[in-house]
């Protein structure tokens, strides 16, 4: 039943994606403002819900998390980055980035063993410093599949039809971490480990950006539109493997908005 639901949602998303970009324009040539916000009323309502949830849960938890010693926060971030390699490596391969796939595989092996499951980034001290997250949404974009409609997902936040389809790939076997935790639910790992790591990713993201997002909100006439533009710019930059810095973000991730 779960697989049937996922396949049905994928079909719906693919149909939406195709209908939203019938002009055949390459998605990498588009500007963020060209991406259609087909469900803007629903998206804005979901955005308000997410903001309310953030005020009640994520921001208070993130502020408490920021009071922890820096080594603990750095170690947590390292572990999350190490886990994300499990999705980055297959997408390096899908995009023909074989050198990066080899480097990231070496990083995963070194940090998972010598680095104690990624707690310490030993690989960086061994010269394996190049690392950029890749996902199935980026791989779809790299082969020319357009964004489709802009979406705001409850709790998860900004996305597009294409990126949402890419996210489903994790549940269809594309994420080894999901497979050995939520899907297999063995005596070593369980579903709690997967969703716990996803929760920590959200807290880690929010803790890094409390001040910057507050500044962005204060200086934006339309905070919803600013977040939409920021997300779409960053996704386009990552798909094209550009080192260009957008006006409202730094080079590391759309999650880390410039505070200056």
pLDDT at 204 over 60: yes
Q: Does any domain span residue 40?
A: yes
Question: 15 lies in a domain?
Answer: yes
Residue 250 maps to a domain: no
Q: What is the pLDDT of residue 184?
A: 78
Inform me whether the pLDDT recorded for 164 exceeds 90. yes
Each residue's pLDDT tens digit, 46-80: 999 999 999 999 999 999 999 999 999 999 999 99
Buried-state track 27-40, b at ≥16 Cβ within 10 A, e below 16: beeeebeebbbebb
196 part of a folded domain: yes
Q: Does some domain include residue 252?
A: no
pLDDT more than 70, % of the chain: 80
Tens-digit pLDDT profile for residues 93-121: 999 999 999 999 999 999 999 999 999 99
Instruction: Kindly list the distances between the CA atom of residue 74 and the CA atoms of 33, 70, 91, 94, 168, in Å, as whole numbers in the listed order.
Output: 35, 6, 25, 30, 29
Domains held by the chain: number: 1
Contacts of 69 (CB under 8 A, 6+ apart): none
Q: List, for residues 207-246, the tens digit of each pLDDT value.
A: 999 998 999 999 999 999 999 999 999 999 999 877 554 4
Tell me which residue range forms the domain holding 232: 2-21+33-239
Supply the pTM of this predicted model. 0.79
In a domain? residue 259: no
């Amino acid at each position: 039943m779960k697989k049937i639901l996922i396949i049905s949602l994928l079909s719906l998303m693919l149909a939406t994606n195709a209908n939203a970009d019938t002009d055949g324009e390459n998605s990498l040539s588009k500007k963020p403002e060209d991406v259609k916000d087909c469900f803007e009323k629903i998206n804005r309502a979901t955005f308000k819900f997410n903001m309310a949830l953030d005020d009640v849960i994520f921001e208070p938890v993130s502020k408490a998390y920021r009071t922890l010693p820096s080594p603990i926060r750095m170690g947590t971030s390292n572990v999350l980055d190490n886990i994300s390699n499990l999705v980055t490596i297959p997408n390096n391969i899908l995009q023909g980035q074989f050198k990066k796939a080899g480097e990231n595989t070496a990083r995963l092996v070194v940090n998972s063993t010598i680095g104690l499951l990624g707690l310490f980034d030993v690989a960086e001290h061994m010269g394996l410093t190049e690392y950029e997250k890749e996902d199935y949404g980026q791989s779809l974009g790299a082969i020319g599949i357009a964004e489709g409609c802009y979406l705001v997902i409850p709790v998860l936040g900004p996305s597009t039809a294409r990126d949402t389809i890419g996210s489903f790939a994790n549940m269809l076997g594309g994420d080894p971490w999901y497979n050995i935790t939520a899907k297999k639910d063995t005596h070593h790992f369980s579903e709690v480990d997967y969703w716990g790591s996803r929760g920590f990713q959200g807290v880690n993201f929010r803790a890094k950006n409390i001040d910057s997002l507050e500044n962005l909100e204060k200086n934006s006439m339309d905070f919803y539109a600013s977040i939409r533009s920021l997300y779409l710019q960053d996704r386009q930059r990552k798909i094209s493997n550009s080192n260009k810095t957008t006006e409202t973000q730094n080079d590391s991730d759309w999650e880390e908005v410039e505070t200056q």
